[in-house]
Structure 1
Amino acid sequence: MSKLKITYRKSAIGYSHDQKATIRSLGLRRLNSVVVHDDTPTIRGMIFKVRHLVSVEELPDRDAPADHPGDDMKR
């Protein structure tokens, strides 16, 4: 399962209480704080709700083999 790196970029001051609660539920406490979550529909929905306050980066799977050119070459 892939991971999502979520960074809290913009203050939630002036936004609705439920958006502030969503930021807290994601585990974000201060501006520029970063959390890593599994990529699930629940987390995606929370990110969608506060997409204007956060930035998201998809992290590569550690379990999946890396796609590097030349890896399949035999020596």
Structure 2
Amino acid sequence: MSFFRITLHRSSIGLPERTRGVLAALGLRKRSQTVFHPVSPQSAGMIMKVKELVKVKEVERALTPEEMRAERRPEPGFWLEKAMPR
């Protein structure tokens, strides 16, 4: 079973109540928040209503909150991109 990975990319400030209601039904409240919904015609219809505000990717499985946190965590250490002149 595949899932839609939906991330809120743009804010809903100043948009009609109906559009904000669709985002609330999807479970999106804050920018950069990501939710997973199973692929279905109902989910696809809600996504089409707010397609300008969200980024959507189809994935094989929904990630757990721990996996999402680990995905955002940077790799340990640091890289020296360019030495500063002295």
TM-score range, shorter chain: 0.7 to 0.9
Higher helix share: 2
**What percent of counterpart residues are identical?**
38
Distance in structure 1 (CA, Å) of the matches to 2:38 and 2:60: 11
Superposed CA offset, 1:35-72 (max 9, x none): 001000000000000000000000025xxxxxxxxxxx
Distance in structure 2 (CA, Å) of the matches to 1:27 and 1:18: 14
Distance in structure 1 (CA, Å) of the matches to 2:55 and 2:37: 13
1:9 maps to which residue?
9
Tell me the TM-score normalised to structure 1 length: 0.77
Structure of greater Rg: 2
Q: Greater RCO between the two (CA within 8 Å, min separation 6)? A: 1
Tell me the TM-score normalised to structure 2 length: 0.68
Q: Which amino acid aligns with 1:59?
A: V
- Structure 1, unaligned stretches of length 5 or more? 62-75
Which 4+ stretches in 1 moved above 3 angstroms? none
**Is 1:26 paired with 2:16?**
no
1:55 maps to which residue?
55
